[in-house]
Amino acid sequence: MLVVESYFVAVVMCVVTMICWGSWANTQKLATKKWPFQLYYWDYAIGVVLLSLIFAFTLGSFGSAGRSFLPDLRQATFKALSMAFLGGVIFNLSNILLVAAIDIAGMAVAFPIGVGLALVIGVIMNYVATPLGNPVFLFIGVGLVVVAVIVDALAYKRLPNEGQKTTAKGIGISIAAGILMGFFYRFVAASMSTNFAHPEVGLMTPYTAVVIFSLGLFISNFVWNSIMMVKPFVGEPVPFADYFKKGNPRLHLIGILGGIIWGIGMSLNIIAAGPAGFAISYGLGQGAPMVAAFWGVFIWKEFKDAPVGTNKLLNIMFVCFIIGLLMIIAARVV
């Protein structure tokens, strides 16, 4: 299988993760103009599974390093398989809750609470489990990224359609989403050997772990997404038959593409964790809200009608974000 040993290559992979995790929601924007998020999310889940299998049977099966996908799957213990699967179940619930929180409370509330909590909890948990890197640089960098997320939220709050959405329900769902999202990565990491080139018996390599994670995401969708369809937090129930009646090949392909984009990010992030460490890899990947903000500012023109002073907030956000990322990267080399 392909094993990355260079820290520089690992950082590049984490940056690609950040771009993927901050960009997949663009497909949601395109698709949900035609049908509800819940229907889009079925195709998204399919895309995540497809990408994980493609990587497993290509990058995860060629080469002499480590174990190829199928032998690795056969030797994995039930505990390792369960941990990766549970990671997928937890992530799927957190992701659905985050989207629901955005619908109820708006980006200005849901993102700083949800992603901010996920970033802090995830980095702390993964650093405690595998303490790689300079903790001072790492946590200062994480703090600056959290500041950037908060400033991003303040900028969004100035938009006319975002300012009055805050509700107790939205805040509560955001907190739940952030806590769950902070925990999912540790379960996947715990299912893997820390030495990818010479993996420990019973534990999995990154490619196998991501496949099992993806299956956890997809199978749990029949529970979490079904509940959201029958009893959504906002809006009317979504009939299951609409997936076939209202869907067309273009809509389905958009959703699958969204899942593939997110899945590329997840796979590269897990592969990069070998030389970077799980805490740094996760911390860099969770800079995704700033990529999403970039799309919002420059592509979707979400701030074109924002009041005077909003651009200053956006500039502060990007500066904090860039310095924070540099600090996180430096944590492994100082």
pLDDT tens digits, residue range 196-248?
999 999 999 999 999 999 999 999 999 999 999 999 988 899 999 999 999 99
State the chain's mean pLDDT as an integer.
Answer: 92
Region of residue 65 (left: phi > 0; alpha: psi -120 to 50; beta: else): beta
- Sign, CA dihedral 167-172-178-184, equals negative
Count the residues in the chain: 334
Q: Are 92 and 45 in contact (CB under 8 A)?
A: yes
Where do the structural domains in the chain lie, given as residue ranges?
Answer: 7-330
Return the bridge partners of 192, or none. 204
**Amino acid 108: pLDDT:** 66
Least confident of 20-34, 127-141, 308-322: 20-34
Choose between 328 and 306: higher pLDDT. 328
What is the pTM (predicted TM-score) of this model? 0.93
**Amino acid 163: pLDDT:** 52
**Amino acid 99: pLDDT:** 83
**Amino acid 29: pLDDT:** 83
Choose between 25 and 222: higher pLDDT. 222
CA distance linking residue 316 with residue 324, whole number of Å: 12
**Amino acid 295: pLDDT:** 86
pLDDT tens digits, residue range 143-195?
999 999 899 888 888 887 655 555 688 889 989 999 999 999 999 999 999 99
pLDDT tens digits, residue range 121-130?
999 999 999 9
3-class SS string, the chain: CCCCCCHHHHHHHHHHHHHHHHHCHHHHHHHCCCCCHHHHHHHHHHHHHHHHHHHHHCCCCCCCCCCCHHHHHHHCCHHHHHHHHHHHHHHHHHHHHHHHHHHHHCHHHHHHHHHHHHHHHHHHHHHHHCCCCCHHHHHHHHHHHHHHHHHHHHHHHCCCCCCCCCCHHHHHHHHHHHHHHHHHHHHHHHCECCCCCCCCCCCECHHHHHHHHHHHHHHHHHHHHHHHHHCCCCCCCCCCCHHHHCCCHHHHHHHHHHHHHHHHHHHHHHHHHHHHCHHHHHHHHCCHHHHHHHHHHHHCCCCCCCCCCHHHHHHHHHHHHHHHHHHHHHCCCC
67, amino acid identity? R
Return the bridge partners of 253, or none. none
pLDDT band for position 22 (50/70/90)?
Answer: confident
CA distance linking residue 201 with residue 209, whole number of Å: 14
Q: Are 179 and 122 in contact (CB under 8 A)?
A: no
Q: What angle do CA 304, 308, 310 make, to 5 degrees?
A: 70
Q: Find the mean pLDDT for residues 282-288.
A: 89
The answer to whether residue 328 scores a pLDDT higher than 60 is: yes
Sorted by sequence, the CB contacts under 8 Å of residue 100 that are 6+ apart come out as 173, 228, 232, 233, 234
pLDDT tens digits, residue range 39-72?
999 999 999 999 999 999 999 999 888 999 999 9
CA distance linking residue 125 with residue 279, whole number of Å: 8
**Amino acid 102: pLDDT:** 78
The answer to whether residue 103 scores a pLDDT higher than 70 is: yes
